[in-house]
Each structure stands twice: as C-alpha cells, then as structure tokens.
Amino acid sequence: MEEWRRILAASVVKPKDLAKHLGVDPEEIEAVVGDYPMRITPTVMAMMKEKGDAIWKQVVPDQAETEDVDAEDDPLEEDLMSPVPHLVHRYPDRVLLMVTNQCPIYCRFCTRKRLVGKPGFLKKGELDRAIAYLKEHTEVRDVILSGGDPLLLPDHLLERILKALRTIPHLELIRIGSRVPGSLPQRITPKLCEIIKKYHPIYMNLHFNHPDELTPEVKAACGMLADAGVPLGAQTVLLKGVNDDPDVMTRLVHQLLLARVKPYYLYQADLTKGTNHFRTTVETGLNIIRALQGHTSGMAVPHFVIDAPGGGGKIPLLPADYLMHLDEDVAVLKNYENKTYHYPQPPKSNGRELPMVGTHSALTACGDGGKGGLNDL
C-alpha cells in the first residue's frame, strides 16, 4: 500500500477515538456522525492545539449540526443543474464534475454535506456519460474536478479521467479543487506530479481557512505542485470563530503566498443544512476585504463572493465606498486610507468615443485628506 493510503487509514473516524486525544464527550457527537461522517487525518489531528480552536471547529462534529433542521440540503440547487449524473452545468462555459464523495477530512461546514462520505469513485460508465455530454457541448472550455476531493482518487483513476478529458478538442482548462495538500500532504507524490504534468494546463484551487494549516510539510506539498507547473489558488470559507477576523485573515493570506498559493475566493458561508452555526454577517467579509485591499500586497486579496441561494452562482462583493460617485464626467473614488480622489472620464463628442487628446491628467488627487467628496463637485 502507498504510504498516503496508510496515513489516511489511520485517520480518526470514531468519536471514542477522538475522546482519547482531546477530551470530547463521545456520547454527545455519536448522533452527529450517524448523519454526517467524521474523518480527521493525522496531519490535521496534529494541527489541533486545544479543544475549540480554529482547526478543531472545522473538523470535530458539533451537536448544532443536527439541530439545524429547517435549512435546505442543497441551497445552491446543484442537483437541479445536473444534466447527467455527477456533472453540474451552471455557467455558460464551464462545468463541475464530481468524481468522488470521499474527502481526507469532513469539514463540518461542507456545502455538499448531503453527499459526502459515501464510498466509491466515478464509475467508468458515469465517466463515459460525462465525456459524451462534454463532447456535445462545445461551449464548455473549462472543467472543474470536484467532489468530494479528486486527489483521493488512486493515480490510475485520476489519470483515466484526465486522459478522457483531453480527448475533448474544445476543452481548454482542467481545474482541480482539493483540500488534500492541506490535510493529507503525503498524497502529493512525485508520481502524482508526473501524471498531472502530462495534462496541462491544469490549475488547482486548494482549500485553506486558517494560517495554522500552513505547516512546513503542507507548504512543501504545495511547492511540489507549483514545481510541476500547476498555478495554485486558494479558496477560503468565512467561518464564525475560525477566521472571521481581519488579523487572522491577513496572516492566512500571507502564509498562502509564502506557500506559492494565490488567494482566489473568500466565500460567504452557504445556507446548507447542518452548517448554519458557522455563518457570519456579510459585513464581516466586507470588513476583511477593506482590511486587506491597499494595506497589503494586491496578490494577497481574494475575491469575496456569495454563492447566491437558489442557484444564481457566485456574486462578487466589494465595500461600497471605493466608488463614491460615477457620472459621465467623473468617478469619485475613496482609497484605502479614506482619502478621496477624482478620476475624470474621457471627453465625449456626440456619444462617440474619440481618441484622447491634450492633457493626460489621468488621476487628480483632491488632496483634501478625505474631507471632500460629492459636495465639492
């Protein structure tokens, strides 16, 4: 058996085994794992320093999960947008392909809580149907392998899927969404990297929520993928008591860049049944973006998005005050220090865009330290 499989098999899956480590009451969470499975890899067990910390909250079952009875199982209506099994086609030019329901760890806030934990990988017949659909749909240029966690597939099954996808002439990008590098870094082997290299361009979006997840061995796994030519992004879920704080989030995005991972999305938590105790206000996310933008490397700032309930897709949000006013003459802007600046629009003539002539005073600072604004116009 490969080493990573032995390590995965040594994960904690039973409440009574967790009790030994950190003094949980196994009775309390026995009922929860009946509905929603638990798995915590040795790597993640070692990240937990005390009961109730930011790692603990993400992976240790909580009674609140089974008390959340009124919420919906599938608020994003993914099941309704599935033309063939395991494929979600919500946007015009890209699709999600769910290749397994297994994950290295079962996040307590998972959007696909209704599905995860069941055994098995995408079967040959199911893959054939997905490939047939994609061959017919020439508008699809981007396939995202998701699940579950695609990197839990054995090498030969992952390669079978990549190879089949690369028979589709109009398919440009393959993306893989994974929490494996941050929770089972031993799975990132030289052999896996060799397989991936053969099917470029492959992008990966890795799931990270807290700076303590970026241990030296996790960073090394990310480095191997980056060395294999995989551009790495991070997806982070905004979680109450875990990362709903500008200082924690600043440390996280800095650690990600050190691991050669570019923060991509910061998600407002979904309304999925069993996860609502993790939700924060929308302002919490906007304040985090405000704390990052301009104050640190632009590379460190993710897009803050809400995946709209009812299947509307991801909608980006920015603090409203960057663009204070916009008309045909001027944009009034506020920077990260709350200072106001005026950007004049290009001159118009009979509604036609003309080449710019004359002065090029593109950015005109008010220099009033933020006291000005609309009243000065």
Catalytic residues: 90-91, 94, 103, 107, 110, 112, 270, 307, 314
The strand ranges marked E within the chain are: 87-88, 94-98, 142-146, 173-178, 202-207, 232-237, 262-267, 303-308, 313-317, 323-326, 330-334, 340-344, 348-349, 352-353, 364-365
Rule CB under 6 A: which of 64-103 touch ligand PLP?
A: 88, 90-91, 94, 96
Minimum Å distance from CB 94 to ligand PLP?
A: 5
Give the residue with the Cβ less far from ligand PLP, 96 or 165.
96
Q: Which residues face 146 on adjacent strands?
A: 98
Q: Output the smallest distance, CB 91 to ligand PLP, in A.
A: 5
State how far the Cα of 160 lies from the Cα of 267, in Å rounded to an integer.
31
- Asked if 116 and 148 count as a contact pair (C-beta separation under 8 A), the reply is yes
Q: Give how many residues touch ligand PLP by CB under 6 A.
A: 7
Minimum distance between the CB of residue 272 and ligand PLP, rounded to whole angstroms?
A: 13
Q: How far is the CB of 375 from ligand PLP (least distance, A)?
A: 39
Nearer residue to ligand PLP within complex by CB, 112 or 219? 112
Residue number with CB closer to ligand PLP (144 or 269): 144
CB atoms within 10 A of CB 74: 18
The residue with its CB nearest to ligand PLP is 90
- If you count them, how many residues does the chain have? 377
Tell me which DSSP letter residue 301 carries.
P
Which is closer to ligand PLP, CB of 148 or CB of 211?
148
290 to 329: interface string for ligand PLP, x by CB under 6 A? ------------------------x---------------
Q: Please state the three-class secondary structure of 94-163 as a single string.
A: EEEEECECCCCCCCCCCCCCCCCCCCCECCHHHHHHHHHHHHHCCCCCEEEEECCCHHHCCHHHHHHHHH
Nearer to ligand PLP, 150 or 211 (CB): 150
Q: Would you count residue 144 as binding ligand PLP (CB under 6 A)? A: yes
For residue 74, the one-letter residue type is D
Before 148, cis peptide (omega within 30)?
Answer: yes
Residues forming the site for ligand PLP (CB under 6 A): 88, 90-91, 94, 96, 144, 314
